[in-house]
Amino acid sequence: MTAISFILALVGFGLVAPIIGCLLAGLDRKITARLQGRVGPPLLQPYYDVRKLLAKENVSVNRFQDFYIAMSLFLAILAGVMFFAGGNFLLVVFLITLSTLFLIVAAYSSRSPFAEIGAEREIIQVMSYEPLVILMTIAYFLAVRTFDVGAVFGLSQPIIVSLPLVFIAFLFVLTIKLRKSPFDLSYSHHAHQELVKGITTEMSGKTLAMVEVTHWYENVLFMSWVGLFFVWGSWIGILVAVIVALTIYFLEILIDSNFARVKWQAMLKWSWLVTLVFCTINIVVLIMVS
Partner 1 sequence: MATIGLLVVLPLIAAAALFFIKKDSLRTPVVIGFAALIMLACVWLAIGHLTGTMEFYPLKSQLITYATLVIDVILGVYVFVKGIKHGVPFASVLAGIQTAIVVVFELTVAHGVNIDNDIYVDSLSVMMAMIIGFVGSGICIYALGYMRVFQEQHKDQPDRRHIFFSIFFLFLSAMFALVFSNNLAWLFCAWEVTTVCSFVLIGYTRTEEAIQNSFRQIVMNMLCGLAFAIALVYLGAAGILELDKLINLGAIGLAAFPIALLAFAGLTKAAQIPFQSWLLGAMVAPTPTSALLHSSTMVKAGVFLLAKLSPAFGWNFNGMMVMLIGGLTFLICAFIAISQSNAKRVLAYSTVSNLGLICACAGVGTPEAMWAAIFLLIFHAVAKSLLFLCVGTAEHHIGSRDIEAMDNLFVRMPTIARFMALGMLTMFIAPFGMLVSKWATIVSIADTGNIVLMLILAFGSAATFMFWAKWLGKVLAVAQHSADLEKGVSKSEWFAIGLMAFMVLFCSVAFPFISESVVVPYLAQFEQFVFPGLLPAWQTISATLGFDNLLIMAIIVLAILASFAVFFGRSKKRIVPIYMAGVGVDSEKRSYRNSLSGVSESSQRNWYLEDWFGEKALLPISNIMGIVVLVVGIALAYINLGGGALL
Partner 2 sequence: MSSTIKSPWIIHYDASSCNGCDIEVLACLTPLYDVERFGIINTGNPKHADILLVTGSVNERNISVLQQIYEQMIEPKVVIACGICATTGGIFKECYNTLGGVDKAVPVDVYAPGCAVRPEAIIDAVVIGLSILEQKRVALAQGKLVSETTAECVTAADKIVDGQTVRAAALKITKG
- Which residues are at the interface with partner 2 (CB under 8 A)? 29, 33, 36-42, 45, 47-52, 55-57, 59, 189, 192-193, 196-197, 200-205, 208
Contact 223, 23 (CB under 8 A): no
When the beta carbons of 65 and 188 are compared against partner 1, the nearer one is 65
* 8-state DSSP, 63: S
Q: Using CB under 8 A, count the residues that bind partner 1.
A: 69
CB of 32 to partner 2, least distance (A): 9
CA distance linking residue 223 with residue 21, whole number of Å: 10
Residue 184: φ, ψ to 5°: -90, 65
CB of 253 to partner 1, least distance (A): 27
Which residue of 19, 42, 55, 113 would you call a contact of partner 1, by CB under 8 A?
113
CA distance linking residue 122 with residue 186, whole number of Å: 5
Applying CB under 8 A, does 137 fall inside the site for partner 1?
yes
CB of 13 to partner 1, least distance (A): 16
CB of 173 to partner 2, least distance (A): 27
Which residue of 53, 78, 173, 245 would you call a contact of partner 1, by CB under 8 A?
78
Applying CB under 8 A, does 270 fall inside the site for partner 1?
no
Positive or negative, the Cα torsion across 28, 227, 259, 191? negative
When the beta carbons of 201 and 224 are compared against partner 1, the nearer one is 201
The interaxial angle of helices 113-144 and 280-289, nearest 10 deg, is: 20
When the beta carbons of 136 and 220 are compared against partner 1, the nearer one is 136
Q: Is 203 left (phi over 0), alpha (psi -120 to 50) or beta?
A: beta
Residue 180: φ, ψ to 5°: -105, 150
CA torsion, ordered 253, 255, 260, 264, to nearest 10 deg: -100
Applying CB under 8 A, does 59 fall inside the site for partner 1?
yes
When the beta carbons of 170 and 249 are compared against partner 1, the nearer one is 170
When the beta carbons of 203 and 248 are compared against partner 1, the nearer one is 203
Contact 166, 278 (CB under 8 A): yes
When the beta carbons of 25 and 149 are compared against partner 2, the nearer one is 25
CB of 261 to partner 2, least distance (A): 15
Applying CB under 8 A, does 254 fall inside the site for partner 1?
no
* Contacted entry of partner 2, partner 1, none for residue 45, CB cut-off 5 to 8 Å set by kind: partner 2
Give per-residue burial for 55-75: e unless 16+ CB within 10 Å, then b. eeeeebbeeebbbbbbbbbeb
* Contacted entry of partner 1, partner 2, none for residue 126, CB cut-off 5 to 8 Å set by kind: partner 1
CA-based nearest residue to 213, from 15, 7, 9: 15
The interaxial angle of helices 113-144 and 264-274, nearest 10 deg, is: 10
Applying CB under 8 A, does 97 fall inside the site for partner 1?
yes
